[in-house]
Every structure is written in C-alpha cells, then in structure tokens.
C-alpha cells in the first residue's frame, strides 16, 4: 500500500491558532504508567494501524515514558479518558508530538482541536526551538487538517510502499 507521511512544525509559539475550547478537561498524567499509556495507545491507535509499540514489554514502556521531557496529557469528558497526546522533548530537536488522537467514539465532536491547542501550548512551554509532528494517510481523516488549522506548516512529505494489514488491529486482540 502506498503511504504518504506529512511532517509539520511550528517554529514560534505565536504561530499557534487556538481552537474553540471543548467541554473536556485536559490533565497531565504525572505518574509514569506503562499500563495506562498502552491503554491510550491501543484505544486511540487501534483504528489507525498504530502497531509499532504493540510488541513492547512493560519495561520498554517504562523506559520510554520515564525519560526526562516525555509527558502524557489526557482529555477527559465527565471523568472518562477520550483522547491523549504524548509529548517528547527528549529528542534534542524541540518537542515532538509523538502521539495524538481521540478514542473513536469522540472523533468529530470538537475535542481534537482543543486537545491539540493544549498540547501545543505545553510544548512551547518546554521548548523555544520548534514543535513538530508527523501524520500519515493511515491516520484519521481530520488529522492533517487539525494540525494545519492549529498553525502547523508542512515542511516535508514522503511517500513509501508498505505492507499494511487489510484491517486495523482494533483496541485489543479479538475486538473485531
């Protein structure tokens, strides 16, 4: 399958275009929790073929999340997690929005723009260099537009041929 990957960035905090606030609360998950992050990763990414971390052990998750500069922010609606973002400021190249997305039931409800606004504001508190992200043609159909609507600009596009399963893995084995 041909996959297009878009790389976007902001190089100054004043490039952020805020979304209308949504009726969610965005809170940093301050305690490192491999179990919680794996839940978020599979719940959000299961529909979009996120598979790179599925084979990670608990220790791999712990090691990744325990690095200085890595933060997980979760959007909650009435006490329920509905989306998350993982910021990676440990790369030495500004802050990467390493993961970002919503649980499938909450896509299209105006939450993504608000969560991305929160993520970008926090990223700019962590860096003065740049904030960047990549998304691809396997991700949600509104992903690229959301990044661009928040003021992120395209700086690179790649097209590759990759083997992709006919169906996405879903949030857990047997969910389909």
pLDDT tens digits for range 106-154? 999 999 999 999 999 999 999 989 999 999 888 888 999 999 999 999 9
Continuous segment of H or E residues that includes residue 148: helix 143-149
What's the whole-number mean pLDDT along residues 34-56? 92
pLDDT at position 21: 82
As a whole-number percent, the residues of the chain with pLDDT over 90 amount to 74
pLDDT at position 135: 95
Three-state secondary-structure class, residue 81 = strand
pLDDT tens digits for range 64-90? 999 999 999 999 999 999 999 999 998
pTM above 0.85, yes or no: yes
What's the whole-number mean pLDDT along residues 30-52? 93
Reference 99, options 56, 41, 157, 60; nearest CA is 41
Helix residue spans in 25-110 (DSSP H): 34-45, 58-65
| pLDDT of 176 higher than 60 | no
Name all domains of the chain by residue range, CATH numbers in brackets: 2-161 (3.40.630.30)
pLDDT at position 138: 83
pLDDT tens digits for range 84-119? 999 999 888 899 999 999 999 999 999 999 999 999
pLDDT at position 100: 97
| DSSP labels, 98-146 | EEEEE-GGGTTSSHHHHHHHHHHHHHHHH-SS-EEEEEETTS-TTHHHH
Residue 146, CB half-sphere, CA atoms under 13 Å: how many?
27
pLDDT at position 109: 92
The span from the CA of 148 to the CA of 138, in Å, is: 17
Torsion of Cα atoms, 135 then 47 then 118 then 13, to 10°: 0
pLDDT at position 111: 95
pLDDT at position 85: 98
């Amino acid at each position: 399958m041909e996959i297009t990957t878009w790389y976007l960035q902001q190089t100054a905090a004043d490039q952020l275009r805020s979304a209308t606030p949504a009726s969610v609360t965005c809170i940093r998950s301050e305690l490192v929790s491999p179990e919680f992050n794996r839940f978020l990763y599979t719940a959000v990414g299961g529909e979009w073929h996120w598979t790179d971390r599925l084979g990670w052990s608990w220790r791999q998750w712990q090691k990744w999340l325990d690095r200085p500069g890595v933060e997980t922010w979760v959007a909650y609606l009435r006490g329920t997690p509905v989306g998350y973002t993982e910021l990676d400021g440990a790369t030495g190249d500004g802050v990467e929005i390493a993961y970002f997305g919503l649980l499938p039931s909450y896509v299209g409800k105006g939450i993504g723009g608000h969560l991305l606004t929160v993520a970008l504001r926090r990223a700019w508190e962590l860096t003065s260099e740049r904030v960047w992200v990549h998304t691809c043609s396997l991700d949600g159909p509104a992903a690229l537009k959301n990044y661009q609507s928040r003021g992120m600009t395209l700086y690179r596009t790649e097209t590759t041929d990759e083997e992709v399963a006919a169906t996405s893995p879903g949030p857990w084995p047997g969910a389909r």
